[in-house]
Each structure stands twice: as structure tokens, then as C-alpha cells.
Structure 1
Amino acid sequence: MTFVHHAFPNNAPIAAQDQHLVEQTLHQAEVFKGHFLHAFRDQVRLPNGDIATREYVIHPGAVMVIALLDDGRLVMERQYRYPMQQVMIEFPAGKLDPGEDRLACAQRELLEETGYRATEWAHAGVLHPVISYSTEFIDIWFARGLRLGERQLDQGEFLDVFSASVDELLAWSRDGQLTDAKTLTGLLWLQNHLSGAWPLRWQPAP
């Protein structure tokens, strides 16, 4: 089946000075549609006029939460990631439901996975973890004023929740124990926030 003019999520206008880099879509073919991922194989015209193939995955988007405990430690998770065949160290995160507000998703994921609610939230930014083959974006949120309750894990979801200091996370990153891309980006935000270089605008939880 062939599709034309497929709508990509989070499309931003291309600046005039970048037009010479743009690839033009000629045809789009659906390769796979699952419960979570949607894969396509497109034919594109390159800036020099040549024709090429692009294979990529449409992703619904996700959120990540950098949750600050009162003692300065961070709420972390250890979760088995099947494609990697490894238990990974990560900040709490999860995908957006259709039409879901991003802050509401961040609040939901933090509560479901860790049991924490936060009294204050701040939006940091967005990251694109796999730009070569996926439309995935991850919205980065900070949370503080944490209060612990009961976790509400999804069916079939298994993970450990623990706390770690910034120094521990940096050491694990240096030593290759922490390799998750979104968590490494979160650490960049965290370091710059703590130094005062990247201020945040905190708001009460709705």
C-alpha cells in the first residue's frame, strides 16, 4: 500500500537557510503497524535530485521526569529492557496516550511507576533520542515537593524504584553502567539547573 503526504508528528517549519538540505517525499509505504509502533518505507528525492529510500518508525512521544527528593537525591528506576537484554538505570518515563496533555502524562507516569506525587512541576525541554530512524520525542519535566504513596504499575510492568545522588549518576555514566540516552540528557539538564545556568519556571501541580 502506498501513502503520500503522511503527516509527521511535531513538524516544525524549515528555515529558509536550510531549504537546500531538505529531502522531498515522493511515496510512502506502510511496512508494519503494531500496538505501539508504526513503520514506513519512503522514497525521497535528495537535494541533488537523486532518489533514496528512508525507513523510519512513527512514535507517539513520551515524557521523562527528573524527580528531586528533599535531600537532593533523585528518584530512579531499574527496568529490564527486552531489546537490550539488560536491566537499565533510568529516570521515570512513559509514552503519551492519544490526546494526553504532556504534564498530565508526566504526573501519571511518576505516580504509576514510583508512587510519588509532586507539589511543583517545571518543564525543561524536549529531546529526540533516535533522529535517524524514529519520530520519537521525549518531553523533560522536573518535579519536587514529593510525597510517597502506592505505585500503580501497568499489567506486565516490573521495575525497581530507588534513589541516587547526582555524583552517583555521573559516576555510573562515566563507567558505562548508565547508558540510557534520555537519562544522560536528563543529567545534562540537571547539572545545568543545579549550577544556575539553566533556570526553571516552577508551577504548582494542577
Structure 2
Amino acid sequence: MTDDLHLRETPVSRTELLKGHFLHVVRDTVRLPSGHEATREYVLHPGAVMVIGLLDDGSVVMERQFRHPMQAVMIEFPAGKLDAGEASLACAQRELIEETGYRAREWAFAGRLAPTIAYSDEIIDIWFARGLSLGERQLDEEEFLDVFTADPAQLTQWCRNGEVIDCKTLVGSMWLNNVLSGAWTLDWSGTMPADAAR
């Protein structure tokens, strides 16, 4: 194993900059490997999930949603943040139903994504779902989004030509293509790795 001591920063103190309804921003003072001190400002995040829903016809469940920071409607896989004390799989199941109306018969944990490592500790768990049945959505009153289905090849093209720029969806498309090609396998037994049960 590589010795990382020459790279590691040691926390010295923390100042809270903002604690809003969604964002929690802090400034840490750290001791650098050189012995000098520096500050690091970043967002604390409870974690999130993304769901790649596979339909029987080979298409996947997608969303179109206006994202205020981008001032644009974005194409994304269904996703959402963990509630306090909520397990990753439970969050994935809840978000899929709430945002799309779909329930899944089988689930598989794929992996993890850290989308913004320079300024947030957010980690997104990637889940696959299949055996989908459509019911009624349960959107929050402040949530507006369109649900649609897309062919994986079309999604890949959107990623290639810049219609999809959402980080988690780009990574999800990579996972999807590797799973569909057989290069990467999933465990559909429903068991969740211990480190995914946050």
C-alpha cells in the first residue's frame, strides 16, 4: 500500500460559515505536510443516491428537471439525498417511487461516485433497479420534473454531444454501458455491501 503521509492534511479547527435548509458550509484550518497551515472551505453533505432503472424493453428511466444554479433544464437519472438515518437502499427505493412512480422488483448496488471532491464531501451511491412497475408519483410540492424513457444508445449520444452534462448521469451512463456489454456484472441478490448501508 502506498504511504500517503506526505500528502495528508491534518485538521486543526473548524468554523461554520453557513447552515441553511440544504447547504452546510464550513471552513477548516488544516496543517499541511510542510507544517504550514491553510484553510479549506467546503460543503458538508449527507450523501445521496442515483437510480438506473432498467425497463423490460431495454430503455432506462430518465428525468428532465430545471436546475437553478445552471439556469437550465437538465437530463438526469433519478436521484436524491439521504434523509437522516436513512439507509442507502431505502433512499433509492423512496426516490424512485417519489420522482417517477416506478417500483422495482430487484435492486443491485453498483458503486460510488464523489462528484465534487474539491468543495464537498458528497458521495452518491449508484443503484440499478429492474422488474419495474409504474404507479403514481409522489413529488414534493416544490418539485417539478418530467419523467421519460431513453434508449441507452441515445443516452450515450447525448453524453457525447453535450446534451447531458450532469456528472452523476455521465457516470451512470458509463456504468450502464459496461453492464449491458457484460464487462461489469451486478449482484441482483438484493444484498447490500456493509459500507453501502450508511
* Both proteins in one fold, TM over 0.5: yes
Q: Give the Cα separation in 1 of the matches to 2:91 and 2:51.
A: 10
Deviation at 1:79, TM superposition (A): 0.1
**Where does residue 7 of structure 2 map in the other structure?**
21
Deviation at 1:203, TM superposition (A): 2.8
1:122 maps to which of 80, 98, 108: 108
Matches within 5 A, 1:185-196: 185-196=171-182
Work out whether 1:136 is the aligned partner of 2:114. Answer: no
**Where does residue 74 of structure 2 map in the other structure?**
88
Q: Give the Cα separation in 2 of the matches to 1:157 and 1:83.
A: 15
Which runs of 5 or more residues in structure 2 are unaligned? Answer: 192-198
Deviation at 1:36, TM superposition (A): 1.4
Deviation at 1:204, TM superposition (A): 5.2
1:46 maps to which of 32, 48, 51: 32
**Where does residue 163 of structure 1 map in the other structure?**
149
**Where does residue 7 of structure 1 map in the other structure?**
none
Q: Give the Cα separation in 2 of the matches to 1:199 and 1:109.
A: 24
Contact 1:121 1:142 (8 Å CA) reproduced: yes
The 3-state SS of whatever aligns with 2:69 is coil
Query: Counterpart of 1:199 in structure 2: which amino acid?
Result: T
1:112 maps to which of 87, 98, 107: 98
Pair 1:42–1:204, CA change in 2 (3 A): closer
**Where does residue 176 of structure 1 map in the other structure?**
162
Sequence identity percentage:
66
Deviating above 2 A after TM superposition, structure 1's stretches of 4 or more consecutive aligned residues are none
Q: Give the Cα separation in 1 of the matches to 2:28 and 2:150.
A: 43
Moved more, 187-196 or 116-125: 187-196
Aligned pair count?
Answer: 191
Q: TM-score scaled to structure 2, two decimals?
A: 0.94
Q: Deviations over 1:36-85 (max 9, x none)?
A: 11111111111111211100010011000000000100000000000000
Query: Counterpart of 2:46 in structure 1: which amino acid?
Result: P
Deviation at 1:87, TM superposition (A): 0.2
**Where does residue 19 of structure 2 map in the other structure?**
33
Q: Deviations over 1:146-179 (max 9, x none)?
A: 0000000011100000000111111111111100
Which runs of 5 or more residues in structure 1 are unaligned? Answer: 1-14
Moved more, 185-194 or 69-78: 185-194
Contact 1:68 1:142 (8 Å CA) reproduced: yes
* Aligned residues: CA RMSD: 1.2
